[in-house]
Amino acid sequence: MTTATSTAGLTDAEVAQRVADGKTNDVPARAARSVSEIVRANVFTRINAILGVLFLIVLATGSLINGLFGLLIVANSAIGIIQELRAKQTLDKLAIVGQAKPMVRRRSGTAARLPNEVVLDDVIELGPGDQIIVDGDLIEEANLEVDESLLTGEADPIDKDIGDKIMSGSFVVAGSGAYRATRVGREAYAAKLAEEASKFTLVKSELRSGINKILQFITYLLVPAGLLTIYTQLFTTDAGWRESVLRMVGALVPMVPEGLVLMTSIAFAVGVIRLGRRQCLVQELPAIEGLARVDVVCADKTGTLTENGMRVSDLKKLTTDDAGNVLAQLAADDERPNASMAAIGEAYGTPPGWTVTAKAPFKSATKWSGASYGDHGNWVIGAPDVLLDPASPQAEQAERIGALGLRVLLLASSDVAVDGSDAPGEITPVALVVLEQRVRPDARDTLDYFASQNVTVKVISGDNAVSVGAVAGILGLHGETMDARNLPAGPDELASTLEEYTTFGRVRPDQKRAMVHALQSRGHTVAMTGDGVNDVLALKDADIGVAMGSGSSASRAVAQIVLLDNKFATLPYVVGEGRRVIGNIERVSNLFLTKTVYSVLLAMLVGLAGLSSKLFGTDPLLFPFQPIHVTIAAWFTIGIPAFVLSLAPNKERAHSGFVRRVMTSALPSGLVVGIATFASYLLAYQGRAATETEQTQASTAALITLLVGALWVLAVVARPYEWWRIGLVAVSALAYVVIFSLPFARKQFMLDPSNAALTAMALGLGIVAAGLIEVIWWVQGAVLGERRRLWRSASD
């Protein structure tokens, strides 16, 4: 053991001076996007810019009613800003609760402080599991080992001596010490990486990338359709510039998927808020989506399936030595006791007051710790199956006790000092310490939930394999148990073993990470839960890392999700929220993409007809709709229903292939609606000589056909039905009946359904389109192998 003269730390006056000089750890907190940045990001969007230009063009014509779509700019921005601010507020509050709080030593005393309260030259104490938050120089150490794998990729712990550099982003594996902060804030080594990783973001999301692909596809359609529409409406119709401009804008506005990105952002933001109410901190938004796709959950036993606290239930003496005094002294000399040592400290009274001559901290790799007390001997405490010959009677006795689901530690004396290179040396068993852990009352229900969802659970623990298997059996998790010391080294063999076995004990930290990699190599999406420093590597490399709020600061730092209330039972809610986001955004995407497809197709057909009139001298074709028509069409077939569907409960399992499924659904439906609408308009159109009334009647007929088809797309997207979904479709349809029935509404929205023949024809074509959409839906289900259901079952 190496030590240096203890440093008392800074005075309050010195701290105040450094704060005044700006020498503070001012790295932005998680979700630190400012209010002004949120406002700018939601107001100055590409879609708002397009709609804004079109809105100004319509205003230039003097037709205010046709500029009603401009309200979309206000609605898009306001809803986005409000939801993101709410999500930011939730994340900020939870992030403060879940932040690592280093022990800062000052003249006024040592206390846990928030990272942003640390200043230059502060003295920070270190213990097992602590995350190192700023760079510094080591001034005290006692068997200190630091893992820098998150910075360098090297997994082996590094022994640190006084004077060595301590790098932010690393964490303590074993031992203790103190260091003086030399670089804080944005100057610290890992600060930039941490700042980037901590932003409120939607990156690395299959859902987000899928929507970007859809938007790229839409962009390719918009350019030629838009140019063709502008040319034909302005230069071939001879309808006057105001009428031509209005028809042009009426064609362009519905091509823009104004709500798709907005609804996606809202769905994620609402997910953050809902999970925040359950004390679940989502440190990276795609984790909500990612956990919904997980098919293997690797769960640590201690702190996940069992509660953190332990109690000593028995002491099996193997010799006449006074084991109680030894245990009391070992517990008293452990500055950062783990759960086992804390339980021993509570069970045994005042220590005899021996002087420590050597110490060996607990390490996950060795599974023991100890201390030397000069004439009072050398003592080690740790895993019986590691310290003893497996064939010895004491080891067999420990196995029998462990088979009951209890944790067993061996107290033994050694013939060498515990800090020697040959430690623990030759040991003499003295006593078996039996510790009892309570199984979490909600753990079984959580495991049952995952089983019902075809999610495989693997219990991976550093504890004795027999004990881990017993706990798994108590929770109803059946399957073979393996001691990780017998795991094959090859990745293929390891992957095959993981498919065969369910429970693993005596797993080293590097093995946990290798097991995650092996499962991923077989195509599994893996979630890892844990709370200790030995879980950090696996948490980092898993597809989704889930840490307990009471766990080490290092495990919380690398996890995407932190369960601040330490409840394993919160995970099903996270899965459910992810499924809600994925399923609902898929529904919403179907609506918006269908609208874009039929809008682009209709514009192309009208444009081509306009070109043919130029070439062959036929009557030019005005676009059927003015902006107000497409605005009211979007209200109840897309806008309001999409908002409701994006926030609705949804327990359907998440599937990959988001873009493929949305495209195969929206493209045929959009084509059917577009062709039917164009046919209806052609049949009703009276040509160049048409009066204003006849033109309005033709536009109304086309709109009726479009609405019937679009409403049936909504009816299909809303499946499987339950009462409120049927109500949503019915209310949407009823809204249009009201609009077409009220004289005031007909006048304001430029509608004229008075021509019975045209209205009947339009309804007939709309019903035909609805029938085709229905057939397409059933055929798609057969082709894609997806079971189609009209009604939601009780088990959903």
DSSP for 475-535, please give it: TT--SEEEEGGG--SSHHHHHHHHHHEEEEES--HHHHHHHHHHHHHTT--EEEEE-SGGG
Please give the residue that has the higher pLDDT: either 706 or 276: 706
Q: Is residue 68 part of a domain?
A: no
| Strand 526-530 versus strand 544-548 pairing type | parallel
pLDDT at 617 over 60: no
Whether 300 is catalytic: yes
Q: Can you read off the two tokens belonging to residue 340?
A: 């086992």
Catalytic position from the list 147, 300, 463, 535: 300
DSSP state of 189: T
**CATH for 326:** 3.40.1110.10
Same domain, 416 and 507: no
Cα separation, 558 vs 194, in Å, equals 10
Sign of the C-alpha dihedral, residues 166, 167, 171, 173? negative
DSSP for 323-372, please give it: HHHHHHHHHHT-SS--HHHHHHHHHS-S---PPPSEEE---TTT-EEEEE
Q: Is residue 734 part of a domain?
A: yes
Place of tokens 């630091």: 146
pTM of the entire predicted model: 0.73
Tell me how crowded residue 565 is: count the other CB atoms within 10 A of its CB.
Answer: 14
Q: Can you read off the two tokens belonging to residue 418?
A: 């515990």
Q: Which residues contact 730 (CB under 8 A, 6 or more apart)?
A: none
Average pLDDT score over residue span 712-729: 92
Q: Is residue 69 part of a domain?
A: no
Cα separation, 295 vs 308, in Å, equals 26
Same domain, 544 and 659: no
- pLDDT grade, residue 96 (50/70/90)? low
**CATH for 680:** 1.20.1110.10
**CATH for 299:** 3.40.50.1000
**CATH for 145:** 2.70.150.10
Same domain, 370 and 504: no
Same domain, 334 and 245: no
pLDDT at 505 over 80: yes
Q: Is residue 3 part of a domain?
A: no
**Last residue in a domain, options 140, 170, 197:** 197
Average pLDDT score over residue span 129-151: 84
pLDDT at 197 over 50: no
Strand, helix or coil at 547? strand
- What's the total number of domains in the chain? 4
Same domain, 377 and 430: yes
Cα separation, 539 vs 527, in Å, equals 8
pLDDT of residue 190: 58
Same domain, 522 and 593: no
Same domain, 313 and 300: no
Q: Is residue 79 part of a domain?
A: no
Cα separation, 597 vs 591, in Å, equals 10
Q: Which percentage of the chain shows pLDDT scores above 90? A: 27
> What digits encode the pLDDT tens for the residues 554-581?
788 778 888 888 888 888 888 888 888 8
Average pLDDT score over residue span 322-337: 89
Q: Can you read off the two tokens belonging to residue 27?
A: 């790295």
Task: Please say whether the beta carbons of 61 and 246 come within 8 A.
Answer: yes
**Last residue in a domain, options 566, 594, 627:** 566
pLDDT of residue 580: 84
Same domain, 152 and 206: no
Same domain, 314 and 392: yes
Task: Please say whether the beta carbons of 327 and 411 come within 8 A.
Answer: yes
Q: Is residue 65 part of a domain?
A: no
Same domain, 191 and 240: no
Please give the residue that has the higher pLDDT: either 307 or 759: 759
**Last residue in a domain, options 197, 230, 265:** 197
Range of the domain at 299: 280-305+440-566
167: left (phi over 0), alpha (psi -120 to 50) or beta: beta
pLDDT of residue 199: 41
Q: Can you read off the two tokens belonging to residue 640?
A: 């309001």
Q: Is residue 149 part of a domain?
A: yes
Task: Please say whether the beta carbons of 595 and 332 come within 8 A.
Answer: no
In the predicted model, what is the mean pLDDT of the chain?
83
Average pLDDT score over residue span 341-354: 88
Same domain, 591 and 687: yes
Cα separation, 515 vs 525, in Å, equals 13
Same domain, 550 and 579: no
pLDDT of residue 201: 40
pLDDT of residue 251: 72
Q: Is residue 46 part of a domain?
A: no
> What digits encode the pLDDT tens for the residues 373-410?
998 999 999 999 889 988 899 999 999 998 888 889 99
Which of 261, 293, 285 shows the shortest CA–CA distance to 90? 285
Average pLDDT score over residue span 715-737: 92
Strand, helix or coil at 123? strand
